[in-house]
Amino acid sequence: MGENNQIIGEDDYILLKDFKVETEVDEEKGFILCFWVYIFNSNAFPSTILKQVYAETNSSPPLLVLDEKTLMIFPLTCLLNEALGPGNTDLPSEVPKVSAAIEHPQNNWIHVGYEVSSDFVRLYINGEIAGELHLSSLSNDNSMPNGSRKRTLIGITGDSNLQGFIHDAKVLPSTLSIKEQYVKDPPLRLSIDESSISDIEEDNGFWNIVGGKASCRRIFSLDVLLLNTFGQPVNKELEVVASLLYAHNWLPVEKTNDEEPPLLASCDGIEFASCDRPCKLSKGRASFKLKISKLSSKCDNRQFCIKFGVSKLEGYRFLEDFSPSIRCISRNRTPRTSTIVWKKISAVHPVNGSQPFGLDDSSCEPKHNTVHEAKLSPTSKRVRLGEAKISAVDQHSEECNSLASKQNQVENGFGSRLEARPENFEEMNTSLSDSESTGARDSALKSVSSRGHSVPDVTIFRYCLGGLTDRSLLLKEIATTVSDEEISGFGEQVSLYSGCSHHRHQIKMAKRLIDEGTVAWNLISQNNLQVQWESAVFEIEEQFMKIASCSSRSLSQQDFELLRKIAGCQECMAQENFEKMWCWLYPVAYTLSSDWVNEMWNSTSPKWIEGFITKEEAELSLQGSRGLQEPGTFILRFPTSRSWPHPDAGSLVVTYVGTDYSLHHKLLSIDNVYSSGVREKNVKVKPLQDMLLEEPELSRLGRIMRRH
């Protein structure tokens, strides 16, 4: 199905109310009915999905019924001892049925198989037997004197609360396999690719996006995927359009006072109304670069959401996806001032002599910082050293915050504080502030350009402006044609022009990541298109331990389960699944190879990093039987939403209980501590675990509680 690029036909997906199929019931041969069903907007339970219709008796008892999270299927009345009277729409209460529990019955595709014979009926859910009912005691020898009777299955018509679709419905001989039908023609769905999200700050399930007037709003990017229900990309000649809605009622957001569309698509530096610029799907992927012109503050502080849908297929709910609730904020918003105060740091950065190294929640809007002793430039992104007291900013909803950091020093005056950002802060801007000498930037530009790197400027700008998918494709192209020195220079230039030093790290590892990933896949696949996951884990573990320089600690079963989820595969893994997993695992292994993390990874008592865990598992582990654990309890993890070449791929996140008895997630920016510049100066830096425990917000290591 992944190669079928034909446009979806009108008969591929049928509304429940329009669904109708006829078949002859043969006591001796039996039959199977199988179909995909998608239910949405069902609030009244139980709700009939399909009914049996008998024209001879004018009766229509239910066949398939949804009762909250239980799917029930009834035997055909023509096989029962009791015949229904004219106009009857109910089955006798004592008639048995087959039931199956469905965890998420709505807004999901479910494959239903119904096998009928004179002796039994069977219910199949997603290709597997979910229940069976023997009818020997209920069969009626006189009910079908001619051996067959027609009956019609139709979609629901009387329950206005139930809406849905039927796909690939078939009535087949009982000799065929329902499981084969399950994998034959899976339905489609549209989904936001969370790993592609760039320049969006996530905050407790919300998106914070800087928007407003043209001079202030910022581009954010993400990809939308067309997948089948098994998670495989599908190539269809379709276009996806984005629109801005109010999150509470899904009504369209109005134009601005200047008659500007609320959601804009950016194309080659020109802004268009998003509805006028749909994105074409290419190999199942559509890449969006968007801006929001309407501020939440101008709409009674209401939140927005972005709806992605397939053009010309309005109303097909499975071909729609919605973003989380969005707060569109202005970068000039005035914050509230916190009582938390930074302490003076009499140290310089171990590499560039300018920036501190510590746990800091600064976000993309540093204009909110209030400086008491040294004036910060409006565009400065981080606190500069030499300032005695700086009020941190309290982050609530749209505002920035800072986490107080204790002063601690190491030999030769090099700072050792941990620097952290909100986990979902995409790309910290570390550009020089306006208050610094303009000659400093000019000097840096000349220094980089004088090296004579062969990567053209247009490629650098394409990388800086592109989304994660664009950057990945660009790096794969560059890494095969340039030298290590040239790609290193490319990383320096991208970091300089984008104002984000974290790009450098991802670009420099590109060559090794691609080369070693290719070798690893060739060893695993042995020229096969797909391989069994269970047979691949041994080579994956060997490659991981080699890259991470770790011989004493192997991966656990839980680690492999998370890797499989990241890969997006089940029993079998294709090259595309491997690449997804590799782009997450390689930066993690690369981070673990550093002395300052390797020691913590190998530590068993205490176990500083217990393995690969999700954000939800970390949060669950910090919630005891009586609520949250003590303030200061923390867990270290690698964010599962950050894959190469995202600037934060491979970084560590500290999840902790704050003094406000709520959970916080901070991304540690610690890649410069043991850099070559520090090693060359023979600077003694404290172990990472010591620096963590010296942070005021962190006091004790938590333990992971895994669900079994």
Domain containing 62 — which CATH number?
2.60.120.200
Say yes or no: 21 and 156 in one domain: yes
Phi, psi of 339 (to 5 degrees): -85, -5
Residue at 162 is within a domain:
yes
Q: Residue 309: its pLDDT value, please?
A: 95
Say yes or no: 156 and 232 in one domain: no
In the predicted structure, residue 351 carries a pLDDT above the cut 50? no
% pLDDT > 70, the chain: 71
Say yes or no: 74 and 102 in one domain: yes
Q: Residue 430: its pLDDT value, please?
A: 34
- Which residue, of 280, 295, 327, is where some domain finishes? 327
CATH number at residue 218: 2.60.40.10
In the predicted structure, residue 480 carries a pLDDT above the cut 60? yes
CATH number at residue 693: 3.30.505.10
Residue at 542 is within a domain:
no
Say yes or no: 59 and 180 in one domain: yes
Of the two residues 44 and 547, the one the predictor is more confident about is 547
Residue at 662 is within a domain:
yes
Q: What is the 3-state secondary structure (H, E, C) of 585-637?
A: HHHHHHHHCCHHHHHHHHCCCCCCCCCCCCHHHHHHHCEECCEECCCCEEEEE
- Which residue, of 309, 327, 345, is where some domain finishes? 327
In the predicted structure, residue 139 carries a pLDDT above the cut 60? no
Q: Contact 55/84 with Cβ under 8 angstroms? A: no
Q: Residue 77: its pLDDT value, please?
A: 67
Residue at 318 is within a domain:
yes
For 218, residues 6+ apart whose C-beta sits below 8 A from its C-beta are 199, 209, 210, 211, 291, 331
Q: Residue 178: its pLDDT value, please?
A: 92
Q: Residue 119: its pLDDT value, please?
A: 81
Domain count across the chain: 3
Of the two residues 353 and 449, the one the predictor is more confident about is 449
SS3 92: coil
For 675, residues 6+ apart whose C-beta sits below 8 A from its C-beta are 350, 351
Say yes or no: 121 and 201 in one domain: no
Of 38-47, 243-252, 253-262, 301-310, the one with minimum mean pLDDT is 38-47
User: Using CA atoms in the order 323, 325, 329, 331, what is the torsion angle rounded to 10 degrees?
Assistant: -60
Say yes or no: 62 and 132 in one domain: yes
SS3 462: helix
Residue 333, Cβ density class (10 Å: 0-12 exposed, 13-18 middle, ≥19 buried): middle
Residue 414 DSSP label: B
pLDDT one-digit tens code per residue, 622-679: 886 667 788 999 999 999 989 999 988 999 999 999 988 889 998 886 554 445 444 4
Say yes or no: 239 and 171 in one domain: no
Q: Residue 54: its pLDDT value, please?
A: 73
Say yes or no: 20 and 158 in one domain: yes
CA distance 140 to 155: 27
Say yes or no: 306 and 217 in one domain: yes
pLDDT one-digit tens code per residue, 173-223: 888 999 999 999 999 999 999 888 888 888 778 899 999 988 888 999 999
Residue at 356 is within a domain:
no
Q: Residue 384: its pLDDT value, please?
A: 29
Structural domain containing residue 301: 189-327
Instruction: Give alpha helix (H) positions in 499-574.
Output: 502-508, 510-525, 533-547, 557-567
Q: Residue 216: its pLDDT value, please?
A: 83
Q: Residue 30: its pLDDT value, please?
A: 79
The kind and range of the H/E element at 53 are strand 47-53
Q: Which of 155, 172, 171 is nearest to 18 (CA)?
A: 155
- Which residue, of 267, 299, 327, is where some domain finishes? 327
Say yes or no: 114 and 153 in one domain: yes
* Beta strand spans in 311-429 (E): 320-322, 326-329, 337-341, 370-371, 390-393, 420-422
Of the two residues 614 and 441, the one the predictor is more confident about is 614
Q: Residue 356: its pLDDT value, please?
A: 34
- Residues paired with residue 164 on neighbouring β-strands, in sequence order: 39
- Residues paired with residue 272 on neighbouring β-strands, in sequence order: 265
Say yes or no: 177 and 251 in one domain: no
Mean of pLDDT values over 98-119: 88
Q: Residue 182: its pLDDT value, please?
A: 92
CA distance 140 to 452: 90
Residue at 363 is within a domain:
no
Say yes or no: 132 and 164 in one domain: yes
Residue 319 DSSP label: G
Q: Residue 405: its pLDDT value, please?
A: 33
Mean of pLDDT values over 476-505: 86
